Amino acid sequence: MSRFFANGSDSESESSEEEVQAPNFNKASAFQFSDDEEEVKRVVRSTKEKRYENLTSIIKTIRNHKKIKDIPNTLSSFEDLTRAYTKALPVISKEENGITPRFYIRCLAELEDFINEIWEDREGRRNLSKNNTKSLGTLRQKVRKYIKDFEEDLSRFREAPDQESEAEDEEAHVSDAGEAADDSYAGFKKEASVTAPKIAKSAPAKSVPADDEDSDDSIDWDSDSESETESSEDENQYQNMRERFLKRSTEKGEDKGDDDKRKDKRKEQKLKIRKRAEDDEDGEWETVVKGHVVEKPKMFEKDAEIDIPLVLAKLVEIMSARGKKRTDRRLQIDLLFELRDISDQHNLGVPVSVKIHFNIISAIFDYNQKISEPMKMEHWALLLEVMQSMMKLLLANADISISESVAEEHEEYITAPFYIRGCPLAAVERLDDEFTKLLKECDPHSNDYVSRLKDEMNVVKTIELVLQYFEQCGNPNERCRIYLRKIEHLYYKFDPEVLKKKRGEVPATTATSVDVMDKLCKFIYAKDDTDRIRTRAILAHIYHHAMHDNWFQARDLVLMSHLQDNIDAADPATRILYNRMMANLGLCAFRQENVKDAHHCLVDLMVTGKPKELLAQGLLPQRQHERSAEQEKIEKQRQMPFHMHINLELLECVYLVSAMLLEIPYIAAHEFDARRRMISKTFYQQLRSSERQSLVGPPESMREHVVAAAKAMRCGNWQACANFIVNKKMNTKVWDLFYESDRVREMLVKFIKEESLRTYLFTYSNVYTSISIPSLAQMYELPVPKVHSIISKMIINEELMASLDDPSETVVMHRSEPSRLQALAMQFVDKVTNLVDVNEKVFDMKQGNFFQRGNMGNRGDRGYNRNQNNQGGNWGGQRRDNRNQRNRNQRGHHKNQQQQQQQQVQTIDEE
């Protein structure tokens, strides 16, 4: 009879009488226990016991699934385990001070070993079912991802897996508490079911001390037998289903007895392990390595004579595994370092050491499989150290030549001159790219980014070493490439020594960053064969000039290079650099009081509404399907590091202020012009949206400040305009970001005064017959010569119809301009005329179509119909001609009246 039935016996030879008696006996016991049901005490368990019991039950289920290799159920149980652990986290943080329980770490380690064992067995994997294979891959990915948070705990556990903490004893007690039975139920078990596990348990225990060689196997067998007996006891503990779910009373003495038994078992196992360790004659202390211990292959035989060919052959053997499957890349790096140490110990020469250095650099680059992801910090520090060490060796030994043009069969390591195949230029370019990826990976507002940015000194130092080497023995193309790398680390950095040198505060012989940029860029202009390097050098040169307020040099470079004509054909990185250059050039023009040029430089960037994307400083949220995942990934790789960003709010404020200084006087001069064009569409939209609002509060944002200032300027109120542009909030947000911000603020106030004066004259010129220049100078706090100059320019450019009277220092207005009513009437006449023209064109088209449809069926009268059509067309044309003649006559009459008025004014002036 099967052991899974209620009687719990394993033998099939038991009598049928015993089988018949079992259910009657169970009924009696059930009847007896039903009477005592009210006397049973309820067991109160803590939250820790509940959570830990849930975890241990799931762990036991996982172990059972692992025994039969039921991978789908193992996967589902693992997901239940992670959820249960998440629920137990508050208890663990409170009771265990955040330390993960050891039994949980043991389960994760066992599960990881189980997955690795199945994964490495290729033959066994092929024989798995489709469901098991799919579940195995999913389980492997989830476990590998999950155990990253427990790496330190797992490494500590693997160092001493047999050690058990007191907490684990408690967890084991909690897990066994729900399975232990009272002694009152033990009488219902049969003697046969109790004696069988005892025999199985005692047999291997005697065999342990018998043979020392097989001690390890006997230990494993002993532990397996104990687990089997415990599981069989658990299965045979209850006589029926009612007893399994029945409340039971627990006594302190029984619990203590169970605890003592378990502790005794564990103590016996520990004593056995200690005895075996003491009996081992060759037992010595061993250093335990963190993680999995991988045996390194022997580098050379003990009696081998180590020379250059042997070391090179070993180097080729190590590097031949590069890129292959199942290659331990960390071990490969360690072997190369060991080979370098062996080479240095046996004094095999600098060329061999350089070759090994270069292969170490290649191996470190290969360690990271995904190019889009940055390398680990430990490998980054190692890479910088090895790179600098190799370049120092090359610079110290001028007879060593390393180049891509050297074939492997032509390498020379024994006699000088030495030739090695390799390219340190490609290595330093890859190093620079990895540094950029490391910066992009960090949070730019954290201390981690600052600490990463400190590595730029080492990167620039490495570039300098490579630059020195190629200046000694490199061709012009290679020098141009390494010069460009140095330029890209230099062009965006501000050097205050440049401005001090301009003012004469430092000696003229002081070398500044502008001098270094001139030297590097001029070499590239002369020697470069590729357009891309030259274009990027020009853009960086202009950027650097603009940053140091060399406006005329930067402007001349832009105009002479004609970059704006063919920049659309350049690669995205060069276009981004062009956009950055134009933005910085606009800021430079603004600082140098060239407001119009600043607006022209910034208008292409700001009119799109996407300056953030154009400058590669972030991605704007897009609608669905507007940007694919692959495109978004590529654009993220093109982003600039945070320390190279241009302040977008500063850029937008400079653009809006420049547009205000240009647009407001233009609007005032062409207020009634129907064909008036917009100088800045963005600023005009901001102004119109503010005018449409019924209630406008005090300005808060930067845009609102500029709009409020524009409204004040339209009325000629320069003080209100200046207060809106230059105040504490705007200084903090914008103007304090400029170098020499006080000078910029003074320049702004001066421009606001001048443009407000021009706007006032445009707006109120039809009110005055003459205006006193000193009163205007007093009103706008400007010198009298400056006011005289502004008005003279307006008269010369025919913006203001007036004349200057120098003796009286007044501006005499000429009444040649129509009044507001006349200007509106002229606009109305023009619009009505256009409407009539359009109406008559539509009417002519309809008449022509009608006559053509009427003539389709009558081909004989084609000439007559054509004449009729021509007559109709001439009739419409005559009407237009007559109307146009009337309009011309009216305009001529109006011009005659204006000329007569001008003549009268001149005669009055002469009198």
Secondary structure (DSSP) of 193-211: HHHHHHHHHHHHHHHTTT-
| Residue at token pair 């998440």 | 86
Burial class (CB in 10 A: 0-12, 13-18, 19+), 252: exposed
* 422 φψ region: left (φ > 0), alpha (ψ -120 to 50), beta (else): left
The tens digit of pLDDT for each residue in 755-810 reads 999 999 888 887 888 888 899 888 888 899 999 999 898 889 888 888 888 888 88
Structural contact between residues 690 and 714, judged by C-beta atoms closer than 8 angstroms: no
Q: Where in the chain is the domain with CATH 1.10.10.10?
A: 647-813
389-398, 564-573, 812-821: least confident range? 812-821
29-33, 629-633, 736-740: least confident range? 29-33
pLDDT of residue 366: 87
Mean pLDDT of the region 154-173: 65
Q: Is the confidence at residue 246, as pLDDT, over 90?
A: no
The tens digit of pLDDT for each residue in 556-603 reads 999 998 888 888 888 999 999 999 999 999 999 999 989 999 999 999
Structural contact between residues 486 and 463, judged by C-beta atoms closer than 8 angstroms: yes
What six digits make up the tokens of 572? 């995205």
Secondary structure (DSSP) of 249-271: ---HHHHHHHHHHHHHHHHHHHH
The tens digit of pLDDT for each residue in 818-846 reads 677 877 888 888 889 989 988 988 888 87
pLDDT bucket at 20, cuts 50 / 70 / 90: very low
Q: Note the CATH architecture for domain 647-813.
A: Orthogonal Bundle (1.10)
For residue 812, the SS3 value is strand
Secondary structure (DSSP) of 15-57: -HHHHHHHHHHHHHHHHHHHHGGGGPPPPP--HHHHHHHHHHH
pLDDT bucket at 90, cuts 50 / 70 / 90: confident
pLDDT bucket at 906, cuts 50 / 70 / 90: low
What's the DSSP call for residue 412?
Answer: B
298-312, 424-438, 542-556: least confident range? 298-312
Per the omega criterion (within 30 degrees of 0), is the bond before 417 cis?
A: yes
| Residue at token pair 């996407």 | 610
Contacts of 564 (CB under 8 A, 6+ apart): 558
* 402 φψ region: left (φ > 0), alpha (ψ -120 to 50), beta (else): beta
Q: In Å, how far from its chain's centre is CA 519?
A: 35
The tens digit of pLDDT for each residue in 222-233 reads 444 444 444 444
* 716 φψ region: left (φ > 0), alpha (ψ -120 to 50), beta (else): left
Element (H, E) at 810: strand 810-813
For residue 70, the SS3 value is coil
Q: Is the dihedral of CA 668, 674, 678, 682 positive or negative?
A: positive
Rounded Cα distance between 540 and 535, Å, is 9
Mean pLDDT, the chain, integer = 77
Nearest residue to 655 via CA among 681, 626, 619? 681
Count of CB atoms situated within 10 Å of the CB of 494: 11
What's the DSSP call for residue 854?
Answer: H
Nearest residue to 595 via CA among 750, 730, 424, 488? 750
pLDDT above 70: percentage of residues in the chain: 72
pLDDT of residue 780: 87
The tens digit of pLDDT for each residue in 571-581 reads 999 999 999 99
Mean pLDDT of the region 87-108: 85
pLDDT of residue 885: 63
pLDDT bucket at 41, cuts 50 / 70 / 90: low
Q: In Å, how far from its chain's centre is CA 675?
A: 47
Q: Is the confidence at residue 543, as pLDDT, over 90?
A: yes
| Residue at token pair 């078992």 | 265
pLDDT of residue 899: 64
Residues facing residue 810 across a β-bridge: 772, 805
* 618 φψ region: left (φ > 0), alpha (ψ -120 to 50), beta (else): left
For residue 401, the SS3 value is strand
Q: Is the confidence at residue 263, as pLDDT, over 90?
A: no
How far, in Å, are 189, 564, 617, 881 from residue 535 at the CA level?
A: 92, 11, 22, 58
Element (H, E) at 658: helix 648-669
Rounded Cα distance between 787 and 777, Å, is 6
Comparing 407 with 189, the larger pLDDT belongs to: 407
pLDDT of residue 257: 57
Q: Is the confidence at residue 16, as pLDDT, over 50?
A: no
Rounded Cα distance between 73 and 66, Å, is 9
pLDDT of residue 681: 81
75-84, 412-421, 672-681, 873-882: least confident range? 873-882
The tens digit of pLDDT for each residue in 351-385 reads 899 999 999 999 998 888 777 788 888 889 999 99
824-827-831 Cα angle (round to 5)? 140
Comparing 642 with 182, the larger pLDDT belongs to: 642
Structural contact between residues 578 and 565, judged by C-beta atoms closer than 8 angstroms: no
pLDDT bucket at 748, cuts 50 / 70 / 90: very high
Q: Is the confidence at residue 126, as pLDDT, over 60?
A: yes
For residue 419, the SS3 value is strand
Element (H, E) at 725: helix 718-725
Note the residue count of the chain: 911
Structural contact between residues 507 and 485, judged by C-beta atoms closer than 8 angstroms: no
Rounded Cα distance between 171 and 165, Å, is 10
Give helix then strand counts, H and E, for the chain. Answer: 40, 5
832-838-842 Cα angle (round to 5)? 140
pTM across the whole model? 0.60
Structural contact between residues 54 and 86, judged by C-beta atoms closer than 8 angstroms: no
| Residue at token pair 């220092």 | 809
Structural contact between residues 789 and 743, judged by C-beta atoms closer than 8 angstroms: no
pLDDT of residue 45: 74
Q: In Å, how far from its chain's centre is CA 601?
A: 29
Residues facing residue 803 across a β-bridge: 812
* 562 φψ region: left (φ > 0), alpha (ψ -120 to 50), beta (else): left
